[in-house]
Amino acid sequence: MALQASFLPSALSARKEGKAACIVKESAFLGSSILEHHKSQFNAPVLRTKRESNHSVGVVKAQTTAVAAPGLSQSAVHGKKVLRKGVVVITGASSGLGLAAAKALAETEKWHVVMACRDFLKAEKAAQSAGMAKENYSIMHLDLASLDSVRQFVHGFRQSGRPLDVLVCNAAIYRPTARKPTYTADGSEMSVGVNHLGHFLLANMLLEDLKKSDYPSRRLIILGSITGNTNTLAGNVPPKAGLGDLRGLAGGLDGRNSSAMIDGGEFDGAKAYKDSKICNMLTMQELHRRFHEDTGITFTSLYPGCIATTGLFREHIPLFRLLFPPFQKFITKGFVSEDESGKRLAQVVADASLSKSGVYWSWNNNSASFENQLSEEASDAVKAQKLWEISEKLVGLA
Ligand code: NDP
Ligand code: PMR
């Protein structure tokens, strides 16, 4: 594997350095197990101070050159190798799952979270009320309803000089009560535009940055959902997800020359969301097929559980918002708190045990993760390729 191969020479060259050598050597064979290995070291106050001053890439690069091992820096005091702080970009981190994951990761002090949000003030307030320490996060503007904004975000991120170790495509909108479609700045139906097309461009552009990262485990995560999978009871609640032959998407989802729906049908806000989740899960698999072997990057998707209290349901009728949480808690038992869902997403970002690529993660009622099965359509490789090619054209990559 590319990841392990890139570790090997450093492991050998570091072998003479006593204790540090063991850590690096083990990482060569266990991949990202190095993350786990350094828990105690990250808690040492002297190392924390050092990490906090490591915001510029110049410093990080200088250190990694000095120790000749990916993502490792050297403690001034003991000469031990330690993993530098990881940098994770999370879209839509101003509420719900994104915020909870940002909080969980920031609290470890091993991650710097770049909160990529459309509302700067809301994100800042959310981070503060979540108790996130200033040095563990930054906020950058990103409006996924505009491809220009996506391009500007990427430019701004590169200007910031931070490396990129993990990207989480989390933001989404759900418009179940909309009678008519609304459109992105680029003229595509809003739910698919934001949830899929904006993220598709972002993921493709930032792939270059992930490739450059020297962090031991680089990951690109796209949120999926049970409701986009028709092999589940939840996925069979009407309107069911379905992309058909993608004729609406091929027409740009502009609602004039083509339908606003991917399958070319009548507009349905709830279906548009579920369709966008199929796109998210297909995109993750296509990324895996195209890039995992050559880059060693881990591509994954997940269903974090039913987080029935988040802002996702803000446009639903009040009665739904009242009944949905108890329905999920007591009837389906699919309910999960924002805190718990945040821990789950944080695992997909950072846990050594969740480093396998091409996986759609889910959790059982004891909060144990497992590799879940996607529906036939959400795992259709031919459709994934077609989706990729049409999406490339729509976002200006082809
Ligand atoms: P929230 O509504 O709480 O969070 C969505 C986030 O996306 C918000 O921060 C929102 O920003 C942001 N966002 C929306 N539109 C844009 C845009 N144009 N540009 C940038 N950011 C935008 O929902 P959840 O936390 O529930 O959802 C997070 C993810 O989890 C989604 O991908 C969803 O599909 C997935 N998911 C959720 C489930 C659930 O039960 N809630 C179940 C399965 C999957 P702002 O704060 O400004 O509105
Ligand atoms: Mg669903 C059997 C389990 C189950 C689970 C885990 C979910 C999750 N739902 C389940 C069942 C049912 N739901 C049943 C039996 C019904 C009919 C009463 C039902 C209804 C329902 C509605 C109206 N459920 C919903 C809605 C929504 O508007 C939500 C939605 O589809 O958002 C896209 C939703 C959800 N149910 C879930 C989850 C996770 C959601 C929302 C979020 C998402 O998929 O992203």
Active site annotation includes 273: yes
Contact 397, 201 (CB under 8 A): yes
C-alpha 303 to ligand 2 mean position (Å): 12
Residue 261 and residue 294 in one domain: yes
Question: Residue whose CA is closest, atom 34 of ligand 1?
Answer: 172
Residues 126 and 240 in one domain: yes
**What letter does residue 236 receive in the DSSP assignment?**
G
**Structural domain boundaries enclosing 27:** 2-83
* Domain termination site, one of 33, 63, 83: 83
Cα separations in angstroms, 101 against 41, 87, 104, 370: 23, 13, 5, 19
Rounded Cα distance between 48 and 87, Å, is: 15
Please name the residue whose Cα sits nearest to atom 9 of ligand 2. 234
Nearest ligand to residue 280 Cα: 1
Rounded-to-integer distance, Cα 281 and Cα 275, Å: 10
Ligand 2 closest atom vs CA 228: 44
Q: Which residues line ligand 2 (CB under 6 A)?
A: 174, 176, 225-227, 233-234, 237, 273-274, 306, 332, 334
Asked whether residue 325 falls in the same domain as residue 383, the answer is: yes
Give the distance (Å) from ligand 2 centre to CA of residue 232. 10
pLDDT, residue 207, reads 98
Q: What is the DSSP letter of 329?
A: I
Domain identity same for 190 and 228? yes
Which of 174, 215, 273, 360 is the catalytic position?
Answer: 273
Asked if 79 and 95 sit in the same domain, the reply is: no
Helix extents (H) in 141-240 = 147-160, 190-192, 199-212
Do 189 and 66 lie in one domain? The reply is no
Same domain, 49 and 161: no
What is the C-alpha to C-alpha distance for residues 98 and 104, in angstroms, rounded to an integer? Answer: 10
Pocket around ligand 1 at a 6 A CB cut-off = 91-92, 94-98, 117-119, 122, 142-145, 170-173, 194, 223, 225, 303-304, 306-308, 310-312
**Boundary-marking domain end, from 59, 83, 107:** 83
- Same domain flag for 121 and 171: yes
What is the Å distance from ligand 2's center to 125 Cα?
A: 30
* Proximal ligand: closest to the CA of 338: 1
Extract the residue ranges of the chain whose pLDDT is less than 70: 1-70, 72-80
Rounded CA-CA distance 210/349 in Å is 13
Q: Based on the structure, what is the number of domains in the chain? A: 2
157 and 98 in a common domain: yes
CA of 307 to the centre of ligand 2 (A): 10
pTM value is: 0.86
**Based on the domain organization, do 103 and 54 belong to the same domain?**
no
Q: Using the atom order of ligand 1, give the atom closest to the CA of residue 123.
A: 46
Q: How far apart are CA 47 and CA 22, in angstroms?
A: 19
| CA 392 – ligand 1 centroid, Å | 23
Q: Which amino acid is at 382?
A: V
Whether the CB-CB separation of 224 and 364 falls below 8 Å is answered with no
What ipTM was assigned to the predicted interfaces of this complex? 0.99
Mutate which of 148, 301, 312, 333 to test ligand 1's pocket (most atoms within 8 Å of Cβ)?
312
Give the pLDDT confidence of 117-165 residue by residue, as tens digits: 999 999 999 999 999 999 999 999 999 999 999 999 999 999 999 999 9
Return the structure tokens found at 229.
């999978």
CATH of the domain at 144: 3.40.50.720
Selection from 104, 93, 109, 87 nearest residue 41 by Cα: 109
Asked whether the beta carbons of 351 and 160 are under 8 A apart, the reply is no
Do 182 and 52 lie in one domain? The reply is no
Considering the domain architecture, whether residues 78 and 105 belong to the same structural domain is answered as no
